[in-house]
Each structure stands twice: as C-alpha cells, then as structure tokens.
C-alpha cells in the first residue's frame, strides 16, 4: 500500500487538550497516590514529586477531577477550610477524609502546569451548590464563598475555566441518575447560575449517542454549553476482571469514534457544530474493576467490593494491547480534531492509569509511552492523507465470539506548525507480522529529506512494564537521508511516529 500525504490540505489544528487526563477519588488515585503527605518522596504540600514529574514530561494539558461517579454525592464545601470532616463516599462505599479538596487540587494543577477541569455534583447536588463552587474559585472578593477562599489563604481567584455539569447522570449506576427531561432542566438552571457568577467559563454536560437524551440537552441547553461530554470504555470488566487479550482488543480499535460520529451528526443537524465541541472526558480501553457497587446487590464485606480493586494494580495487565488501542484512539481524535477538542485518559494514575505508583517509586505503563510519543513527537496540524492500493486487513475473534475485520494499519499525518516538519503516526496492529508502507508526499519536491523513526513495539503482544521490569519504551532509530518515496517497515504490534524534515 502507498500512503500519500498532502501537506497542502489541512484537516485542522488539534487542541493540545486531546492529550488530557482524569483523576478521581477512587482507590489509590488521590489518597496514597498523588497525595501522600507521609511519603518521603512527597514535597512540602504532600504531593509525590516523582508522579508530578512524570505528568510534566507528558505535558498534561488538563486534569479533570474529582469524578466520575464519586462526584455525584460529593459536597465540595466539606473539603475546604480548616475543619475537614471525613465523609462516607456513597459511590465507592469508603470513607473519604476530605483532606484533599479544591485548594489542594488547584495547587496540584499549578505544580503539574495543567488546566483544572472541575466536574460538579449533579446527582445529589443543586444548581446553587455548583454555582457556589464557581464563586469560591472565580470571584475576586464578592460574596461569602470568595471571602471564604481568601480566609483559607488563597487571595487570588483560581479562574477555573472548564466546568462540567454532572457526570454520567444518564446511567442507573450513577447516584442521582436523571431522566432526559430532568437532565436538561437541571443543566439549564445550573448553567444559568454558573454563568451569572462567571460568564467566561466553558461548560460541559453529558451527551450520548442516544438521540433523545442529547437532542433534549442540545435543544434546551445548547446556547449555554461550549462542550458536550462523551465517555468510552471498551473492554468492560467492572464485575469480573477477565481482560480481553491482544487480538480481542484489536476488535475494538475501529469502534472508538462511533460515538463521535453520532454526536457530530446531532450537533450539525442543530447547527451547533461551530459553537460546541466534544470533550471525550473519560476514556480507556479497559473499564475499572470494582465489583458489587454498580449493582443492586451490594457487596457485604470489604473483601467483596474494596479488596478486588487491587486487581487494577496488576501491571502485567497493561500490555501492547493497551498501547496499540491508545494510539488508535488518539489517531481517531486527531482525525476528528475539528469537532473533538478534549479527551481525558481515565485515569492518569493507578487503577487503569498510565502511571502506577508504589511507596518507593512509579512504573510507567505501556500507555504512558504512547502519550509521551504523541505529546512530544506528533505535530499539531493534522494533514489530509490517502492510501493507494489494497488496504491490509486483520480479522480477529472479538471477546463476544464474533469475527471482526479491522484495518491493519491506523495512520494519521501531522505537521509541526513551528518548523514545518511532518510526523506520521502508523500503528501496525498485526500481532505477528511486520508490515511495509511506501510513503510519498503529493506536490512536494522530495529531492532531499531526512527521516527519523520513533517507535514502541515491546518484545511481544503481552509485553508490559513493572517494578524492575521494563519491556515497553520509546526507541528512536538513527536518522537517514532519502530521496523520493520512503519505504517504511513497521514491526508487529507497533506504534511508529516517522519524522520527515525537508
């Protein structure tokens, strides 16, 4: 197959927030995760410096918090000020000490150098409670909540720009689940009050491929929103931690933009596609494992619903399947960068995160290196490309037993606006065989060009990283001079970013 890249045809400029992340009050993401005041690796504010440094290396642009399901019975006022009382987190059925709240979150974002993105409680919360939170964060001195922030030692407003009204309030698993009509009414009232407080913030609310839900939301609230939120997990293992293997995971790779296509259609039909962007603000190949809480029959003892959460910490679970899927997802978001402005890997730390932490250090899982590759090597301008000749295909048996045929190569061409270099991402999903690809540039004189390849391959499809065990990392090959078409050889189960300097 021959890949034609046309540098003169721009698909769009991707928003850096496509490489965003999410962190929730769940298991060891916050407590005993990034916020660990007793740990010798933590700084004077109680944050793990090794984790912060790893987040800075992948230039985390935005970090959504505090949930997720957690937020739908969370009251932010209990976690600011000097008198922090523990509360029982009804979503995850554990006690939250409330020692990590809005002020600690903002401090963490400042250390990482990322935008805060606060998800509010549309479960048990009210429009007023949400807008009070915005007062606390964004008003200079007016009203009691800005004065409370100042009294807590934070003189200047935080100017939090991104706010989500609620989480997955469409789901019966969510505390305070809503019908479509209940949903748009709450979103509208919350949006009105929030914008009365801080008219320049950008609001998001949960959308779905479900036409009624999203049409109701957009018809009634479209003028208040800048974003609609989508969530996606493909290997669904909340109750049984039976993970899809590599080839089963490849069956998911062509599905990642299905919801984007559906919601794009609705936005376009309502002539809102220029005003509202999609925030895919929770996504991961694998759902989190937390049995007996999203069910009617709840676990009785902690060993039936808390202890099993430790299975998410098995680092050997995060293999080249997760890395290849993650690259395919990021490629799909780049291809849709005209309508998708944000995506948040769920979560960034522990659970299914790209970083795993333990008392004495961290492990950079396979997916971390994919973010490193995309953030630090791919361009910001997405270029048009087309593939001449037979497209190689891969047919696999999905987890549900069905045969699925998918494109073997997943490709996105980009250009760096600062220096014109072209960087092409090519994912080879083939579990066993290398693939070749001829790459040429239409209407460009390729008399002289320097090529350099960066790739993640692992040693086999089940390669993973763990403490004192590193099989997956970025490998950069020596640069070479070429003329005309470039013949790329793409190893089995690999993610490749190939630079072309003219």
- Looking at residue 68, the DSSP 8-state letter turns out to be S
Query: At residue 199, what are phi and psi to the nearest 5 degrees?
Result: -65, -10
CB of 356 to ligand AHR, least distance (A): 17
- Specify the residue, 252 or 288, whose C-beta has the smaller distance to ligand AHR: 288
Residues 163-222 that bind ligand AHR (CB under 6 A): 167-168
CB of 369 to ligand AHR, least distance (A): 23
Angle formed at CA 124 by CA 118 and CA 128, multiple of 5 degrees: 65
User: Which letter, b or e, does each residue of 430-466 get, where b requires 16 or more Cβ atoms within 10 Å of its Cβ?
Assistant: bbeeebebebebeeeeeeebebbbbbbbbeebbbbbe
- Give the separation between CA 295 and CA 302, rounded to whole angstroms: 15
CB of 337 to ligand AHR, least distance (A): 24
* Residue range at the interface with ligand AHR (CB under 6 A); choices 135-143, 197-205, 280-288, 435-443: 280-288
User: Which letter, b or e, does each residue of 87-105 get, where b requires 16 or more Cβ atoms within 10 Å of its Cβ?
Assistant: eebbbbebebebebbbbbb
- Specify the residue, 233 or 502, whose C-beta has the smaller distance to ligand AHR: 233
Of 282, 410, 430, 453, the residue at the interface with ligand AHR (CB under 6 A) is 282
**CB-based contact 5:439 (threshold 8 Å):** yes
Whole-number CA gyration radius for the chain:
23
- Specify the residue, 231 or 277, whose C-beta has the smaller distance to ligand AHR: 231
- Give the separation between CA 500 and CA 502, rounded to whole angstroms: 6
- Specify the residue, 74 or 133, whose C-beta has the smaller distance to ligand AHR: 74
Residues 38-97 that bind ligand AHR (CB under 6 A): 67-69
- Specify the residue, 163 or 441, whose C-beta has the smaller distance to ligand AHR: 163
- First-last CA distance in the chain: 23
- Specify the residue, 167 or 414, whose C-beta has the smaller distance to ligand AHR: 167
Q: How many residues bind to ligand AHR according to rule CB under 6 A?
A: 10
> Is the bond leading into 66 cis (omega within 30 degrees of zero)?
yes
Angle formed at CA 393 by CA 421 and CA 414, multiple of 5 degrees: 15
Of 35, 65, 74, 288, the residue at the interface with ligand AHR (CB under 6 A) is 288
CB of 352 to ligand AHR, least distance (A): 9
- Specify the residue, 81 or 176, whose C-beta has the smaller distance to ligand AHR: 176
Q: For the purposes of burial, counting CB atoms within 10 Å of the CB of 165, is it exposed (0-12), middle (13-18) or buried (19 or more)?
A: buried
* Residue range at the interface with ligand AHR (CB under 6 A); choices 282-290, 309-317, 409-417, 437-445: 282-290
Residues 373-412 that bind ligand AHR (CB under 6 A): none
CB of 404 to ligand AHR, least distance (A): 24
Residues 469-488 that bind ligand AHR (CB under 6 A): none
CB of 193 to ligand AHR, least distance (A): 23
- Specify the residue, 115 or 168, whose C-beta has the smaller distance to ligand AHR: 168
Question: 494: closest CA among 317, 246, 254?
Answer: 246
Residue 242 token pair: 């039976």
- Give the separation between CA 366 and CA 470, rounded to whole angstroms: 9
Residues 215-254 that bind ligand AHR (CB under 6 A): 231
CB of 289 to ligand AHR, least distance (A): 8
CB of 92 to ligand AHR, least distance (A): 8
**CB-based contact 207:213 (threshold 8 Å):** yes
CB of 74 to ligand AHR, least distance (A): 11
CA 298 vs. chain centroid, Å, equals 29
- Give the separation between CA 474 and CA 477, rounded to whole angstroms: 10
CB of 229 to ligand AHR, least distance (A): 10
- Specify the residue, 282 or 430, whose C-beta has the smaller distance to ligand AHR: 282
Spell out, one character per residue from 102 to 131, where the chain touches ligand AHR: x when CB under 6 A holds, - when not: ------------------------------
- Specify the residue, 244 or 426, whose C-beta has the smaller distance to ligand AHR: 244
**Residues paired with 470 in a beta bridge:** 465
- Nearest residue to ligand AHR, by Cβ distance, number only: 68
By CB under 6 A, residue 24 contacts ligand AHR? yes
CA torsion 244-248-250-254 (nearest 10°) is -100
- Specify the residue, 287 or 367, whose C-beta has the smaller distance to ligand AHR: 287
CB of 122 to ligand AHR, least distance (A): 12
- Specify the residue, 24 or 430, whose C-beta has the smaller distance to ligand AHR: 24
> Is the bond leading into 141 cis (omega within 30 degrees of zero)?
no
Question: 367: closest CA among 417, 414, 317, 421?
Answer: 317
CB of 170 to ligand AHR, least distance (A): 10
CA 203 vs. chain centroid, Å, equals 18
CA torsion 376-24-152-123 (nearest 10°) is 130
Question: 117: closest CA among 185, 45, 21, 213?
Answer: 21
Give the binding site for ligand AHR (CB under 6 A): 24, 67-69, 167-168, 231, 282, 287-288
């Amino acid at each position: 197959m021959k890949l034609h890249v046309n540098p003169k045809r721009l698909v769009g400029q991707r928003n850096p927030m496509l490489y965003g992340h999410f962190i929730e009050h769940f298991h060891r993401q916050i407590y005993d995760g990034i916020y660990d005041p007793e740990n010798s690796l933590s700084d004077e504010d109680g944050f793990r410096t090794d984790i912060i440094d790893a987040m800075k290396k992948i230039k985390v642009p935005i970090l959504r918090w505090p949930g997720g399901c957690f937020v739908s019975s969370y009251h932010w006022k209990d976690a600011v000020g000097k008198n922090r009382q523990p509360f029982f987190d009804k979503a995850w059925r554990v006690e939250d000490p409330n020692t990590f709240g809005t002020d600690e979150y903002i401090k963490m974002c400042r250390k990482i150098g990322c935008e805060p993105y606060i998800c509010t409680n549309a479960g048990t919360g009210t429009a007023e409670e949400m807008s009070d939170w915005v007062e606390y964060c964004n008003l200079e001195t007016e009203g009691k909540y800005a004065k409370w922030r100042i009294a807590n030692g934070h003189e200047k407003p935080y100017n939090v720009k991104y706010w989500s009204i609620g989480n997955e309030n469409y789901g019966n698993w969510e505390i305070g689940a809503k019908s479509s009509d209940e949903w748009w009414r709450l979103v509208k009232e919350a949006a009105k009050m929030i914008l009365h407080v801080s008219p320049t913030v950008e609001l998001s609310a949960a959308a779905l491929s479900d036409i009624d839900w999203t049409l109701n939301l957009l018809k009634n609230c479209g003028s208040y929103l800048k974003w609609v939120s989508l969530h996606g997990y493909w290997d669904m293992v909340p109750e049984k931690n039976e993970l899809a293997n590599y080839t089963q995971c490849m069956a998911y790779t062509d599905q990642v933009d299905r919801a984007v296509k559906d919601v794009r259609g609705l936005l376009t039909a309502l002539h809102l596609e220029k005003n509202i962007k999609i925030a895919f603000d929770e996504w991961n190949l694998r759902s989190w494992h937390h049995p007996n809480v999203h069910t009617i029959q709840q676990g009785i003892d902690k060993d039936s619903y808390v202890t099993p959460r430790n299975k998410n910490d098995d680092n050997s679970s995060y293999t080249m399947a997760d890395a290849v899927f993650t690259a395919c997802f990021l490629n799909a978001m780049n291809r849709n960068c005209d309508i998708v402005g944000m995506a948040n890997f769920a979560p960034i730390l522990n659970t299914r995160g790209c970083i795993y932490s333990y008392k004495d250090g961290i492990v950079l899982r396979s997916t971390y290196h994919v973010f490193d590759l995309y953030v630090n090597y791919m361009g910001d301008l997405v270029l048009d490309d087309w593939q001449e000749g037979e497209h190689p295909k891969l047919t696999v048996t999905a987890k549900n037993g069905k045969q699925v045929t998918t494109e073997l190569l997943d490709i996105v061409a980009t250009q760096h606006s600062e220096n014109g270099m072209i960087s092409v991402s090519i994912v080879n999903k083939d579990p066993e065989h290398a693939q070749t690809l001829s790459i040429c540039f239409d209407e460009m004189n390729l008399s002289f060009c320097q090529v350099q390849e960066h790739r993640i391959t692992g040693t086999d499809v089940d390669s993973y990283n763990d403490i004192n065990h590193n099989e997956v990392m970025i490998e950069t090959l020596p640069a070479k001079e070429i003329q005309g078409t470039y013949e790329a050889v793409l190893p089995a189960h690999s993610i490749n970013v190939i630079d072309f300097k003219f």
